[in-house]
A and B are shown apart, each in its own frame.
Chain A
Amino acid sequence: MKKIILFYGRGGANFFVHFYRVCAYLGAAIGQLRYMHFYRRQIIEQMYRIGIGSLSLIAGLSLFTGLATTLQTAYQIAAYVPKYIVGSIVFQSEMLELGPTLMALVLSGRVGAGIASEIGTMKVSEQVDALTSMGVDPVGYLVMPRILAGVTMFPIIIIFAVVVAVGGGHWAATTTMGVSSADFVRGMKEVFRAKDVWVGLIKATVYGGIITLIGSYLGMETEQGAKGVGMAATATVVWSSSFILIMDYVLTRTLLKFY
């Protein structure tokens, strides 16, 4: 019993230590925002890598998500409700849930693990120490541009993902299920509320922050050479995915209720 209490107690204490340090990194990165002009090249480079660099992957995955969602919806409601409802359900589920959350889970691998392994490699090969020794703050040079790029580019990526997914859903509905284009669009229009777009964008912003912050933190804390870099990348995907799903519940509950 004592061993079990110790095990969970130590795990809980570790969690709070990491949580505190992640918050400290976030605070330091926010503090570095005043030097944005100094790090503008890094910010633009990260926006390009995280934003533009993710578009082809997101386009392919969103297309198939839209196709599958449409087929699944049509199958579930076929006997009970009019077909134009397919457009309503596909649009709302893509905008509120599948677009931001599913794509964020995918990006936790592409973006988060990429950040952790890149910064982790720099850490174990003394490049982070080299930055410090040259009078450049590693948080300003490495962490802040990535977090800023994450929170600004993720909403754009998610809007792109939703457009592609709904386009794919429209194609599937009109070509394979006998739903007319007018009916699909009518279904979308009936449920469209600006609030839903805002909820999707707020989720995307938060997820962008979570993924880039966790990737940067675990990268900066990397030790033990190549093994440590691998562990940081893996931990980034696990931590980011977990926090995305937890925040999905928190944000859905909060935003749909109060916003």
Chain B
Amino acid sequence: MIEFKDVYKSFDDKHVLRGINLTVNEGELISILGPSGCGKSVTLKHIIGILQPDRGEVWVDGQFVPKLSRNGLQELRKRVGVLFQSAALFDSMSVKENVAFMLRMHTRMLETEIDKRVAECLAQVELRGVEELNPDELSGGMRKRVGLARAIAMKPNYILYDEPTTGLDPKTAIIIGDLIVRLQRQLNITSIVVTHDVKLATDISDRIALFHDGKVAAIGAPAEISQDGGQLIRQFMEGQL
């Protein structure tokens, strides 16, 4: 379980988070929806300790993240897979090396076992025969899928998706959305999807948290949120937020 309790975060004089309260339950798929710059990605970075809150508490599986030791953070990060907005594939490595990266750094698996695990992960994101390609030879959708294969390589408990459909055409965005749901069910994990894509959030989520002005403005199942946060969602879609 992940909990944010009254979390504040500022960068210089820009107040990004102004008292976030959010609980992500085990096994659920929650989307954080909101306009650019409202603190969605900043919230994700607090979960794995890349950013520290100025005030408030961030808890993951009962561990207080800001006070975790170096080793504690490293162990936490092994349990959390992250798909970055740009996929953030290492461009000096092949697809196989990217997916195998954490296995090589954190496990004592043999090369044959690593090869097998890489093939499994790529198959789970519906990619085959791309192991030897370099990231610059992949399309946007393929890069996201390789990023996703890398995120699941260590069999994490959580996957954090940072704008998974940004920059993709509508058809590929639907494929990525389906993939997120399928992985959620197959791997029995907890997923947090940060997005400004209302359709994606509505289609795939168990719950949606609508961020506005550095706070959670509304939260609930997609059907509930369209009532509780209906006005806000309309404003968001019309670019008024």
Which A residues are within 8 Å of any B CB, using their own CB?
Answer: 38, 121-122, 125-127, 129-130, 132-137
Bound Cα distance A11, B190 (Å):
49
Q: Are B77 and A129 in contact (CB-based, < 8 A)?
A: no
- What CA separation (Å) do A135 and B82 show in the bound complex? 11
Report which of A38, A132, A136 forms a contact with B50, defined as CB distance below 8 A.
A132
Q: Which residues from chain A contact B110 at a C-beta distance below 8 Å? A: none
Would you mind naming 12 contact pairs between A and B with Cβ atoms under 8 Å apart?
A: A125-B86, A126-B84, A130-B90, A132-B77, A133-B48, A133-B50, A133-B80, A134-B82, A134-B101, A135-B75, A135-B105, A137-B70
- In order of increasing CB-CB distance, the 6 nearest A-B pairs are A135-B77, A130-B88, A126-B88, A135-B74, A133-B82, A126-B84
Q: Which residues of chain B are near A129, meaning CB under 8 Å?
A: 45, 50, 84, 88
Partner of A134, one of B45, B70, B77: B77
Given A134-B105, A135-B102, A135-B106, A126 and B85 touching (CB < 8 A)? yes
The size of the chain B interface, using a CB distance under 8 A, is 22
* A136 near B105: Cβ-Cβ < 8 Å: yes
Measured CA separation A125–B91 after assembly (Å): 10
Cβ-Cβ contact count across A and B, 8 Å cutoff = 47
Contacts of B105-137 to chain A: CB distance below 8 A: 105-106
- A188–B218 CA distance with the chains assembled, in angstroms: 82
> Which of chain A's residues have a CB closer than 8 A to the CB of B105?
38, 134-136
The reply on B18 being an interface residue by CB < 8 A is no
The interface residues of chain A lying within 8 Å CB-to-CB of B73 are 135
CB neighbours (8 Å) of B101 from chain A are: 134
How many angstroms between the C-alpha atoms of A94 and B73 in the bound complex?
50
> CA–CA, A132 to B77, complex, Å?
8
| Interface presence of B78 (CB below 8 A) | yes
Q: Given A127-B90, A127-B91, A130-B90, is A135 in contact with B78 using a C-beta cutoff of 8 Å?
A: yes
CB contacts (< 8 Å) of B50 on chain A: these are 129, 132-133
A126–B78 Cα gap in the complex (Å)? 18
Residues of B within 8 A of A132 (CB): 48, 50, 77
Known: A133-B50, A134-B105, A135-B78. 12 other contacts (CB 8 A): A126-B86, A127-B88, A127-B90, A129-B45, A129-B88, A130-B84, A130-B88, A133-B82, A133-B84, A134-B77, A134-B78, A135-B106
B2 CB to closest chain A CB (Å) equals 15
Q: Which residues of A contact B74 (CB under 8 A)?
A: 135
| Most chain B C-beta atoms within 10 Å of own C-beta, residue among A121, A129, A134 | A134
CB neighbours of B91 from chain A (8 A): 121, 125, 127
